[in-house]
Amino acid sequence: MKLIVQNINQNHSKRVILVTLLFLLLGFSQTAIAQQANVNLDYNPHQNTEGLIPFSAPLNSPEVHEDRTVTFRLKAPLATEVILNPGAIHTALDKGNEPIPFTRGEDGIWSLTIGPLDPDIYAYHFRVDGMQTPDPSNTIAAFTAMPPYSQLVVHGDEPAFYDAKQVLHGAVTRHIYHSKVTQGERELYVYTPPGYRSDKKYPVLYLLGGSGELPSNWIYDGRVNLIMDNLLAEGKVEPMLIVIPNNQIIHRNHPQHAELTFDLFERELREHVIPLVDEHYAIRKEPKGRALSGLSMGGRHSMFIGFRSLDLFANFGILSAGDTDAENTLQHFLQEPQINSKVDYLFVGQGTKEAQGFFNLRCQALHDALTNHGIEHEYYVGGNGGHDWSTWRHLLYYRFLPNLWRK
């Protein structure tokens, strides 16, 4: 062994061979190891770069290969069926709701290789003998007001627009307050841009989540703070505050959710959220200095609450939302006198694949109603995603945020 080490020291390539042999002797498999170190905010956490199994995991899953194909693995020797549950990955692969089955190995390890996939972040679940579960070997997960799920990060050649880069970064502050509307303690998050000063007045965007989302999901899934940091570094946006309140105001499965949620959340905004922000931050307090935006259910909150609250907001972003009966449900807004002088910017957007299905009915109906009544707005369909975070990150970066506060 001593002679071998001396030879290796003389030749770098032989040293690599020895390290590989040592790993094999110690029982590690090069085909089932990856990074997931969680040391840095890596843009490629599922690429095999360190040759280590994720901490406390039985094996490596998922593993993103150089060609952007992805291998999932699950150690479940007693299972009889393992599938990749329909979701964002299926949308990206044009698989619809067709389940994608794993193959069982003789060692009881189930595996599945798919792709290639476009660089992006995909939420996913496994289904094992009919039970939905996150990937137990993936350390990158998310939690919401729904059961937790895993996240697959397919990297590109460099950090994406939603990744952490070497730029100036803003701060995210969590506020906890008591609400008389919900009779309990609630939270909201506030993003302040790098260089924030208390002697300067900033415009403020109130940004809402969808059904089952928590305020933190706009940070961890939506990456809105990193998107803003990168846009600011690129000189593409105006410095602003972003306030992310919790718009889960009543149990989402409550039989009267649709009838109660809008009035209750408007009270929450007026009685608690906006007063808290006005008190603690240097912001513009007139309607033209405020924007209200949200995705899916949050888009409907932005529409049904925001459109009747022109005393508070003059800018709106309706992401993957609308109403199939917009001509009737939005009559007050559609017939508002001099509406185009009261609204600075109104954005309606959805994903390319989303526009091919159910959600397009709502978005298209809203766009048509606004057009029929001569209300100035931007309508945009883009990105490669469906009704998922791929779309909402894309809409923020490429259209909505850069166009805010441009009048």
Termini Cα distance of the chain: 73
Q: Are residues 92 and 222 in the same domain?
A: no
| Domain end residue (candidates: 105, 124, 154) | 154
Residue 261 belongs to domain with CATH number: 3.40.50.1820
d(C-alpha 172, C-alpha 215), whole Å: 12
| Domain end residue (candidates: 154, 182, 202) | 154
Q: Confirm whether 178 is domain-assigned.
A: yes
d(C-alpha 390, C-alpha 385), whole Å: 5
If one counts every other C-beta atom within 10 angstroms of the C-beta of residue 336, the result is 17
Residue 11 reports pLDDT greater than 60: no
Q: Are residues 132 and 177 in the same domain?
A: no
CA atoms within 13 A on the CB side of 405: 18
DSSP 8-state class, residue 400: I
Q: Tell me what the mean pLDDT of segment 26-35 comes to.
A: 43
DSSP 8-state class, residue 52: B
Mind listing the pLDDT tens digit for each residue in 207-250?
A: 999 999 999 999 999 999 999 999 999 999 999 999 999 999 99
160 burial type by CB count under 10 A (0-12 exposed, 13-18 middle, 19+ buried): buried
Give one word for 223, left, alpha or beta, with left for phi > 0 and alpha for psi -120 to 50: left
Contact of 119 with 42, CB cutoff 8 Å: no
Q: Confirm whether 163 is domain-assigned.
A: no
Q: Are residues 64 and 179 in the same domain?
A: no
- Considering only 14-23, 306-315, 348-357, which range has the smallest mean pLDDT? 14-23
Q: Are residues 94 and 241 in the same domain?
A: no
Number of separate domains in the chain = 2
How does residue 359 score in pLDDT terms, banded at 50, 70 and 90? Answer: confident
Q: Confirm whether 1 is domain-assigned.
A: no
How far, in Å, are 13, 50, 103, 317, 380 from residue 373 at the CA level? Answer: 71, 59, 55, 18, 18
Q: Could you list the residue range(s) of the whole structural domain that residue 283 is in?
A: 171-403
pTM: 0.90
Q: Tell me what the mean pLDDT of segment 94-123 comes to.
A: 95
Q: Are residues 352 and 248 in the same domain?
A: yes
Q: Are residues 351 and 391 in the same domain?
A: yes
| Domain end residue (candidates: 123, 154, 185) | 154
Residue 98 reports pLDDT greater than 90: no
Q: Confirm whether 36 is domain-assigned.
A: no
d(C-alpha 343, C-alpha 346), whole Å: 7
